[in-house]
Amino acid sequence: MSAISSLASTGTPPILCEALLRRFDAPGPRYTSYPTADRFVEAFGPADTVRALSQRGQGATVGSTVPLSLYVHIPFCESVCYYCACNKVITKHHERAAEYLDALDTEIDLVCGALDSAQSVSQLHFGGGSPTFLSNVELDHVMASLRRAFRIVPGAEMSIEVDPRTVTSTRLDFLSQLGFNRISFGVQDFNADVQQAVHRVQPFESVRDLMKSARDMGFESINADLIYGLPRQTTQSFARTVAQIAELRPDRIALYAYAHLPQRFKPQRRIVPAELPGASQRVSMLGSAIAGFLGQGYTYIGIDHFALPDDALAVAKRQGRLHRNFQGYSTQPDCDLIGLGVSAIGRIGASYHQNAKTLPEYYDALRQGQLPVVRGVALNRDDLVRRTVIMALMCQGRVEFESIELSHLITMREYFKGELEQLSPLVDAGLVEIEPGAIQVTPAGWYVVRAVAMVFDRHLQTDKLRERFSRII
């Protein structure tokens, strides 16, 4: 029985004791990629990305026949949420979107020119910022540009992040007409004190009504984002938010740990540190939330996702088809990703690349007729092996030695001799089991599965600056 299956069958997840929490709750990556984005280098630039795109277009890369995934970043927001760590531009001047959409069109043309062949797309995601900052006319413009440039296959997953404060049921209907069939509501917390502390006030009733409208319109999947560890949250208050979300029955729930990194993200400096819950409260919130959602019939997908049993994500989990990308857990096959817009990250073949993080840099590159890529990385053989192991841990909680050995022509116990020894403290703590031919994360180990993955991160093992990452719990 897998770790998650056994977790679901018990109904109540084990809670890490304070000693284990102090021992394993360290800063670490979320592993939406490996190597992680902090390992991208400026030596990898536009020319390298054009080369990777061209190779895909010519069918010369592994997976080049698999449909693409597209990500479109819309950076604008009307107001700042103090917890936010996204790449964003705060403005009430909606006319600023016109220049950005022109730049997106230019970037799409450059990408298609490098591909030099018609490409199918099976997954499209609009993120931000707030994609719903754009008007209906502007959203229609972006979708028309994408449809001209790519073949969006029938049944493609088309999702968009929505700020409940900026949409009405009429707007949701328009999004449906554009082809979006999946929608994600940023909720974070329903408690009024918490909402005031993070500068994001949105009543439960408005979210409830919007979700009902989305369901009536036939959206295939409705997601709600929650964050625990926010200022003024308590175990009791967050349990009420969990109960309210469960009452609304979204198909999916993303439950994220707040990462307080004010030295990196300016808006977080407005949060009062004394109002943040402590480590023991955070793990209590997490344990209570997991138990609450399991008790309401949700399937625990992984470190931050839940889904109703008949949702595609839960089905993929049961069938061993779960994947992980920059948007979190996904049902899509391990495929190439094209990121469009400021700060967007893409993956083509055995490489990652990222666009400029500021609008002036992004615009300047496109005016010069080149992709706005400012950094990236080409994976070597060791990176590819470790990526396979880390993603198996993050998605399935289990690494089968034989499959890794056959696909990468290594001997696990020799190649990862040191890493298997480093797992000993996790084994002794009951968080990991090492079988003759596999590594298995236990139900308790899912709290710190990122710590298990970190053992296999060659780059992180020599890193002395881990504090730039969020904490595991």
- Model confidence pLDDT, tens digit, residues 325-365: 888 888 877 789 999 999 999 999 999 999 999 999 999 99
pLDDT of residue 327: 80
Reported in sequence order, the residue ranges of 45-189 that DSSP labels E, i.e. its strands, are: 68-74, 76-77, 89-90, 120-128, 151-162, 182-188
Residue 35, preceding peptide bond in cis (omega within 30° of 0): yes
Report the share of the chain in percent with pLDDT over 70.
Answer: 93
Does the pLDDT of residue 464 top 70, yes or no?
A: no
pLDDT of residue 291: 86
- 7 band by pLDDT with thresholds 50, 70 and 90: very low
Half-sphere exposure of 438 (CA within 13 A, CB side): 14
Does the pLDDT of residue 247 top 60, yes or no?
A: yes
Q: In whole angstroms, what is the distance from residue 140 CA to residue 453 CA?
A: 41
Instruction: Calculate mean pLDDT across residues 389-406.
Output: 94
pLDDT of residue 6: 38
Half-sphere exposure of 109 (CA within 13 A, CB side): 10
pLDDT of residue 114: 96
Does the pLDDT of residue 4 top 50, yes or no?
A: no
Query: E strand or H helix at 221, and its extent?
Result: strand 221-228
Say whether 38-339 and 3-27+380-468 share the same fold. Answer: no
Report the share of the chain in percent with pLDDT over 90.
Answer: 73
- Model confidence pLDDT, tens digit, residues 211-232: 999 999 999 999 999 999 999 9
> Domain residues of the chain, as ranges?
3-27+380-468, 38-339
- Model confidence pLDDT, tens digit, residues 270-312: 999 999 998 888 878 888 898 899 999 998 887 788 999 999 8
| DSSP notation for 257-277 | E----TTT-GGGGGS-GGGS-
- Model confidence pLDDT, tens digit, residues 372-392: 999 999 999 999 999 999 999
- 8 band by pLDDT with thresholds 50, 70 and 90: very low
Q: Which CATH number fits domain 3-27+380-468: 1.10.10.920, 3.40.640.10, 2.40.50.100, 3.40.50.10190?
A: 1.10.10.920
Does the pLDDT of residue 470 top 80, yes or no?
A: no
Does the pLDDT of residue 193 top 50, yes or no?
A: yes
Helix 381-396, helix 401-408: angle, nearest 10: 150
Taking the whole predicted model, whether its pTM rises above 0.85 is answered as yes
Which tokens belong to 29?
């990556």
Residue from 309, 305, 310, 358 nearest 327 by CA: 305
For 2, counting Cβ atoms within 10 Å of its Cβ (0-12 exposed, 13-18 middle, 19+ buried), the class is middle
pLDDT of residue 243: 96
pLDDT of residue 1: 32
Q: In whole angstroms, what is the distance from residue 131 CA to residue 217 CA?
A: 20
pLDDT of residue 360: 97
Do residues 473 and 304 lie in contact, with contact meaning Cβ atoms separated by under 8 Å?
Answer: no
- Model confidence pLDDT, tens digit, residues 76-107: 999 999 999 888 999 999 999 999 999 999 99
Q: What is the mean pLDDT of the chain?
A: 90
pLDDT of residue 144: 98
Instruction: Calculate mean pLDDT across residues 52-57.
Output: 94
Query: 38-339, what's its fold?
Result: pyruvate-formate lyase- activating enzyme (3.80.30)
Does the pLDDT of residue 204 top 90, yes or no?
A: yes
